Amino acid sequence: MTAQRRVVAEVLDGEHVHLTADEVHSRAVAKLPEISRATVYNTLGELVSLGEVLEVATDKRAKRYDPNAHRPHHHLVCAQCGEIKDVHPGGNPLADLPDSERFGFKVSDVEVTYRGVCPNCAAA
Amino acid sequence: MTAQRRVVAEVLDGEHVHLTADEVHSRAVAKLPEISRATVYNTLGELVSLGEVLEVATDKRAKRYDPNAHRPHHHLVCAQCGEIKDVHPGGNPLADLPDSERFGFKVSDVEVTYRGVCPNCAAA
DNA sequence: ATCCAGTATTGGATAAAGTCCAAGGTCATA
DNA sequence: TATGACCTTGGACTTTATCCAATACTGGAT
Ligand SMILES: [Mn+2]
Ligand SMILES: [Mn+2]
Ligand SMILES: [Zn+2]
Ligand SMILES: [Zn+2]
């Protein structure tokens, strides 16, 4: 555990946190000015491999890093500002996919992304 | 309607078609050798604006272009080879998100991505 | 059939996100 | 202190996508 890794871990602490690698780097630099982008990418990659952090692709640009890897969850995204919330829908979407729609795949996982407009953007 | 646009439209014809811009360009070049990448990107962007084609982000790399914009559907992705099938699950995932999990958002849409292993990859 | 204004296409430059690498730094152990 | 394993760094490189100025094309008016 180096100072660099500790800083990346600190930046990724919290709820509803879904930062891009670049955002992680900016915030890490505020705490440890000389940390490099390469180290941020390396550390994020290690955390993902360890299962401590999830990669999420809620927009079609940069990957986002999600420290909430403990409890499975899905995402609610504001189409205007990009804010992302963790959500826990009821039901079991896996069970909703009939065999006739599985094309012989062994299906093991499902991701659900809800889209809408957040209260802030709706007010503006 | 120019020859270039016609070729892009032809390339995007079919079922379970989810090509990247680069794949569209390669196939378009096979039919019209001098078509440029810029025109492919322009045309894809127009088709998306018109609602004739959807952008899908099933992997975390290039966007994919989906001509099946007529009937809403979701996707089943092979985690190994990337093959993508259109699927129509039962149930209504939007209804599965309780108000208490909406954070005041006006939720209007939901995307579901199933992940698994396709028969080909399972056999190998 | 020809002209022309508007639109489309092109190649190359640029940008954004991410990966790779060789060089050098750090740290525990001996 | 010397060693070796591992970590960090900056920059080069790759991939994907966008932007732009110059050129080519199109379709309607004459
Ligand atoms: Mn999350
Ligand atoms: Mn599809
Ligand atoms: Zn918003
Ligand atoms: Zn497969």
Q: How far is the CA of B2 from the C1' of D29 (A)?
A: 21
User: Of the residues B25, B45, B66, which one is the last residue of a structural domain?
Assistant: B66
Q: Which of B57, B88, B111 sits opposite A101 (nearest CB)?
A: B88
CATH number at B107 reads 3.30.1490.190
Strands, DSSP E only, in B5-121?
A: 19-20, 54-56, 64-66, 74-78, 84-87, 106-117
Contacts of B88 in chain A (CB under 8 A): 101
Cβ of A4 near strand C (under 7 Å)? The reply is no
Residue that has been written with the tokens 């998100």 in this structure: B97
Q: Which of B108, B113, B119 sits opposite A115 (nearest CB)?
A: B108
Are residues B108 and A116, on separate chains, in Cβ contact within 8 Å? yes
pLDDT tens for B78-118 read: 999 999 999 999 999 999 999 999 999 999 999 999 999 99
pLDDT tens for B13-60 read: 999 999 999 999 999 999 999 999 999 999 999 999 999 999 999 988
A8 and A48 in a single domain? The answer is: yes
Cβ of A35 near strand D (under 7 Å)? The reply is yes
Query: Which pLDDT score, from 0 to 100, does residue B85 have?
Result: 98
Contact between A74 and A57 under an 8 Å Cβ cutoff? The reply is no
pLDDT tens for B42-52 read: 999 999 999 99
Which of residues B124 and B116 earns the better pLDDT score?
B116
B15 and chain A: CB distance < 8 Å anywhere?
A: no
Q: How far is the CA of B49 from the C1' of D17 (A)?
A: 17
pLDDT reading at A59 higher than 90 = no
Q: Please state the rounded mean pLDDT for residues A55-69.
A: 94
pLDDT reading at A1 higher than 90 = no
How many domains does one find in chain A?
2
B60 and B105 in a single domain? The answer is: no
B58 and B105 in a single domain? The answer is: no
pLDDT reading at A47 higher than 90 = yes
User: Of the residues B20, B46, B66, which one is the last residue of a structural domain?
Assistant: B66
For residue A47, give its domain range.
Answer: 3-66
Query: Which pLDDT score, from 0 to 100, does residue B22 have?
Result: 97
| Token pair recorded at residue A26 | 């900016």
Query: Which pLDDT score, from 0 to 100, does residue B50 have?
Result: 95
Q: Facing residues of B19 across strands?
A: B65
A108 and chain B: CB distance < 8 Å anywhere?
A: yes
> Which residue from B10, B7, B64, B9 is spatially nearest to B34, judged by alpha carbons?
B7
CATH number at A45 reads 1.10.10.10
> Which residue from B89, B78, B95 is spatially nearest to B112, judged by alpha carbons?
B89
User: Of the residues B40, B66, B92, which one is the last residue of a structural domain?
Assistant: B66
Contact between B11 and B28 under an 8 Å Cβ cutoff? The reply is yes
- pTM assigned to the model: 0.94
B50 and B85 in a single domain? The answer is: no
pLDDT band at A124 (very low <50, low <70, confident <90, very high): confident
Query: Pseudo-torsion of CA B80, B9, B14, A94, nearest 10°?
Result: 50
| Percent with pLDDT over 70 in chain A | 100
Ion ligand 1 residue ranges (Cβ < 5 Å): A 66, 68, 86
Q: Please state the rounded mean pLDDT for residues B69-80.
A: 96
